Chain A
Amino acid sequence: MFDVVVVGGGLAGLSAALRLAQQGRRVAVVAKGLGATQLTGGTIDVLGYAPERVDNPRRRIPELVREQPDHPYARLDLDLVERSLSWFRSAVEPLRYAGGLDENVLLPSAAGAVRPTALAPASMSDGNLRRVPRLLIVGFRALKDFYPAYVADNLRHAGIEARASVLEANPRSGEADVSGLVYAAALDADAAFRRVLADELAAVVEPGETVGLPAVLGVDEAPAVWRELQERLGAPVFEIPTLPPSVPGRRVHRLLAAALRDAGGRMVVGAVAVGAETGNGRADALVVQDAARRRPYRAHSFVLATGGVASGGLELELDGTVREPVLDLPVAGMPDGAPFSPRYLDPQALAPVGLAVDEELRPVDADGRVVYENVYAAGAMLAAAEPWREKSGDGISLASGIRVTEAIVERLS
């Protein structure tokens, strides 16, 4: 018997579980995979577009909530968001996340877009384009997931001084196709390779330039790798996140998962919640399928953080209905008309579909009645956001993850 069983190992689920474990609760995380954090860029986006670029999330979020009263931020007030961000910064302290709600940092994307975000790890912060540095964008010949000339060209069109260079440094010399994870592992473990990289960089960087590299500067040793490279180079270095699997996302995931274990939480990966034992308006157990068997996980409370459509937390059937597959919870926001717009970059009618929740983030039905009094929802499955467009996904996941822990702790005590 657990106090809380959390389903989902992404940012929302892990944050909720860790926060509860830190408060001495007996927690288990049941996760199908390794969590969507490892697909994201490692920045903490709170609100980047609405739909114009947002410079000050603290001012813009309340306006957004007035415009869209169903938006997840309507249930997640600014104080909570702020508390959640500062909790996150301490939870992943070695990565030294900086920023806040008063001014979005503007970081170059791997395509060279000027991308707003609220928090970035120290290893990315020197890329803040508000400071209009002179940039040298650097890629690796063997890394196919980063194109420095393309990035620099787009930045120049945004009025930023930038040039590009390609390095030969390769942890698997003789191989043409080397992934970002291989670069990261080599930089973690191989001092000689770190020197090779620094020497090659030193040969191309000019005084006054800030160096932008693909985000592959180590996983577990990332802070040390980044510091060492800057010291050897004598120039500021920052990382630009690129295609999944994401090295900076992996750092976050590994720190949160390790902290959860250290705090006594359990994490079961490769296990799928497939149903529940319910009665009297409560869930008594979740039925979990792992490799060998199906068994119930009993708890006082349950947190569903299985993600949106991308993670399988919601599914669109061929007949046009959207289902939540674990508890078959009611789904809100189904469009009357066509689910998709014919133009790719338009808002998509189906996108905001998700779970509607009460103040405590418990899923509610169409009449606003709580479905199960001890079941909570957090993260990308909440209705009424388009987080990939708004650049709001991390803020929603973190704040909702923390919010459910507060609601649960209040009820447990």
Chain B
Amino acid sequence: MKRVSTEVLVIGGGATGAGVLRDVAMRGFDAVLVDRADLGEGTTGRYHGLLHSGGRYVVKDPVSAKECIAENGVLRRIAGECIEDTGGMFVTTPLDDLEYAARFVAGCHATGVPVEEISVAEALRREPRLNPGLSRAFLVPDAAMDGWKTIWACVRSAQEHGARAFPYHPVDRILRDGDRVCGAVCRDEREGHDVTIEARFTINATGVWAGRLAELAGCPGVTVVPGKGIMIATNHRLVNTVVNRCELPGDGDIIVPIRTVSVIGTTDAEVDDPDELEITRDEVQEMLESGDRLVPGFSSSRQLRVWAGARPLFQDEKAAAGDTRDISRGLALVDHVQRDGVAGFITITGGKATTFRLMAEVAVDAMCEQLGEPRPCRTADEELPGDSPDGHYWLGSRLAGRERTMRDDQLICECELVPRRRLEEAIARQATDNLDDVRRVLRLGMGPCQGGFCIYRATGILHGERRLDGPGANASLLAFLQERWKGVQPILFGDQLRQARLDDWIFQGLLDVEHLPGDRPPEPRSREVSAILHASDQGAG
């Protein structure tokens, strides 16, 4: 069995885990991160992409609002190219309680969320598709944040400080030495062998799966309630500002413009199993109808895909059963020395993508305290590494990059402007045969045609770059088509079904992929494989 020795083992490769890895590495600890699947395959890769100003929480959860606005400022400073400074708007539609706006403004003042009321005419000038019946509009510093890019930037930063990240390493068991956790045994799924990771300290950053991991460490009863939220991406940007209804948080009341799409979210339903997130056509219809209230005609615009994520909502006794929205969104730190008498192990969960850096700081502070080695956090001071020095992402970033290489590089994915060189680099860097891993990094196949053209090309390129045999490449192709189908199938109607049918003609009719040599894609991963399970990817955007 392979053995790895490190000071800190971080379990979970979402935003929180990546943030923790970066934090411990910057404080000078040797660190290793493991995830059961690819980085960002869980909740972070399935959120709507909103960098909260805090406006959403100013009335209901002022503590969260304060955390959000503080972190919003920090992330704008350090995570430039992961963020598009779209700005945000809260609008009172004809369906909203007129009284709420006053409470909203008071809440903003009380929590320090900058707010500026603008005229209805100005709001409609900025966002002409908004419901013309709106009565009030407020500007707040919401923004769009690319969850995958943020994770990758944190991991790269951590690697620059000596840390290592191992995706596709599900934890099989947690190692204990008496009352101490001293590492974990993982399965290296790509190489097909076990790896023992010995660590002085282990941080559980598995989010919605944190209760299961804590139980593996012999700390049962940590209750994290999965709150299922569905999101739908439209085929282009219906708004260029984050738009929220000025109301107490409800379903389908936010539209986030991110990259080439706009995403409407979300719902909130308590579910038993974060790996079983079913999406019904009724839920889709309700979400689209909610969209009509903010942007009339939303439901008849072309919808690209739908997916679901599971929020980690840390259970506290005050919460009313059944409605997870009333559970605190705040971060939850569990010190297992106090709770279970187990040392060398803490759990950080709850929270939201916007506060991932703060969560990491809180967790690593607690670790340092337990180790008796106070070292200051530096993650808010140093910028994340990026590809461009141009500051924030903007909608034209990719096109501008593409224009520089028009003549000497091929455009593999026309929808998301992915050139061949970047695809080859991503395949090499990730050392993956999985086109879905590449998708998360490059947005390959995420545009309007949903991979109809680029996935054949990407398969041909993958076949060459990875020296796969035919059946190996076919497996990648078919697995990608199956993953894509999961994300589009619940939302197929109108023009998007038309597109999907064109893709059927290409893949089944023309290329006859059904009869390629090799095995058919496996059934969705068995849930008995490991203790930390991975959510079936719904084709997140």
Binding site for B on A (CB under 8 A): 39-41, 49, 53, 109-115, 142, 144-147, 149-150, 153-154, 156-158, 174-177, 241-244, 308-312, 315-320, 339-340, 342-345, 387-389, 391, 393
Complex contact B498–A312 (CB within 8 A): yes
Q: Could you tell me if A318 and B494 are in contact, using CB atoms closer than 8 angstroms?
A: yes
Contact residues in A for B408 (Cβ distance below 8 Å): 175-176
CB-based nearest A residue for B505: A388
Interface assignment of B103: CB less than 8 Å from any CB of chain A: no
Given contacts A113-B515, A144-B457, A157-B517, contact A320 B505 (CB under 8 A): no
Inter-chain contacts of B477 with A (CB < 8 A)? 111
B248 within 8 A of A: no
Tell me the bound Cα distance from A177 to B407 in angstroms. Answer: 7
What does DSSP make chain A's interface, helix, strand, loop or mixed? Answer: loop
Tell me whether A177 and B409 are in contact (CB under 8 A).
yes
- How far, in whole Å, are A73 and B29 apart by their CA atoms in the complex? 71
Bound: A340/B484 CA distance, A: 14
- Inside 8 A of A158's CB, which chain B residues have their CB? 517
Contact: B407 with A153, CB < 8 Å? no
The CA-CA distance from A161 to B484 in the complex, in Å, is 33
Q: Given the complex, which residues of A lie within 8 Å of B506, measured CB to CB?
A: 243-244
By Cβ-Cβ distance, the 3 closest A-B pairs, closest first, are: A147-B460, A388-B509, A153-B470
Smallest Cβ distance from B220 to chain A, in angstroms? 34
Given known A114-B515, A344-B481, contact A310–B470 (CB-CB < 8 A)? no
29 A-B pairs with CB atoms under 8 Å apart are A39-B502, A109-B511, A111-B477, A111-B512, A111-B516, A150-B460, A154-B471, A154-B516, A175-B408, A176-B407, A176-B408, A176-B410, A177-B410, A241-B510, A244-B510, A308-B501, A309-B497, A309-B498, A310-B502, A310-B504, A316-B492, A316-B497, A342-B485, A342-B489, A344-B484, A344-B485, A345-B482, A388-B501, A388-B505
Check if A387 sits within 8 Å of B509, measured CB to CB. yes
B489 proximity list for chain A (CB < 8 A): 340, 342
B512 touches A113 (CB 8 A): yes
User: Would you call A153 and B457 a contact (CB within 8 A)?
Assistant: no
| B255 at interface by CB-CB < 8 Å | no
Looking at the assembled complex, report how far the CB atom of A201 sits from the nearest CB atom of chain B, in whole angstroms. 20
B513, A111: Cβ atoms closer than 8 Å: yes
Minimal Cβ-Cβ distance residue in B for A345: B514
Q: Is B432 an interface residue (CB 8 A)?
A: no
Which residues of B are found within 8 Å of A388, using beta-carbon distances?
501, 504-505, 508-509
A312 to B464, CA, bound (A): 37
Listed in ascending order, the chain B residues whose CB lies under 8 Å from chain A are 281, 285, 288, 299-300, 406-412, 420, 453, 456-457, 459-461, 463-464, 469-471, 473-474, 477-478, 481-482, 484-486, 489, 492-494, 497-498, 501-502, 504-506, 508-518, 520
Closest chain-A Cβ to B297's Cβ sits at a distance in Å of 12
In angstroms, Cα B386 to Cα A176, docked, is 27
Measured CA separation A391–B501 after assembly (Å): 14
Residue among B407, B460, B516 with most chain A CB within 10 A = B460
Q: Are the CB atoms of A115 and B512 closer together than 8 Å?
A: yes
Contact for B461 among A147, A157, A309, CB less than 8 A: A147
How many whole Å from B121's CB to the nearest CB in chain A? Answer: 32
Give the docked Cα–Cα distance between A150 and B300 (Å).
Answer: 40
Q: Quick check: B473 and A309 within 8 Å, CB to CB? A: no
Chain B residue, CB-CB nearest to A152: B470
B512 touches A318 (CB 8 A): no
User: Known contacts A156-B470, A243-B453; is A315 also within 8 Å of B494 by CB?
Assistant: yes
Q: How far is the CA of A175 from the CA of B459 in the complex (A)?
A: 22
Closest to A107 in B: B512
**Taking the nearest CB of chain B, how far is it from the CB of A155, in angstroms?**
8
> Which residues of chain A come closer than 8 Å to B511, judged between CB atoms?
109-111, 113
Contact B494 A150 (CB under 8 A): no
Kindly state the separation between the CA atoms of A308 and B501 in the bound complex, as whole angstroms: 9
Query: How many angstroms between the C-alpha atoms of A111 and B515 in the bound complex?
Result: 10
Chain B residue with Cβ nearest A311: B498
Q: B299 and A110: CB pair below 8 A? A: no
Choose from B281, B412, B509, B518 the contact partner of A157 (Cβ within 8 Å). B518
- Taking a contact as CB atoms closer than 8 A, the residue among A49, A153, A319, A389 that contacts B469 in the complex is A153
A177 to B513, CA, bound (A): 25
A142 to B408, CA, bound (A): 10
CA distance A315 to B300 in the complex (A): 13
Known: A109-B510, A157-B471, A343-B485. 9 other contacts (CB 8 A): A39-B505, A144-B410, A153-B473, A242-B510, A310-B505, A316-B494, A339-B492, A343-B482, A391-B509
The distance from the CB of A349 to the nearest CB of chain B, in whole angstroms, is 12
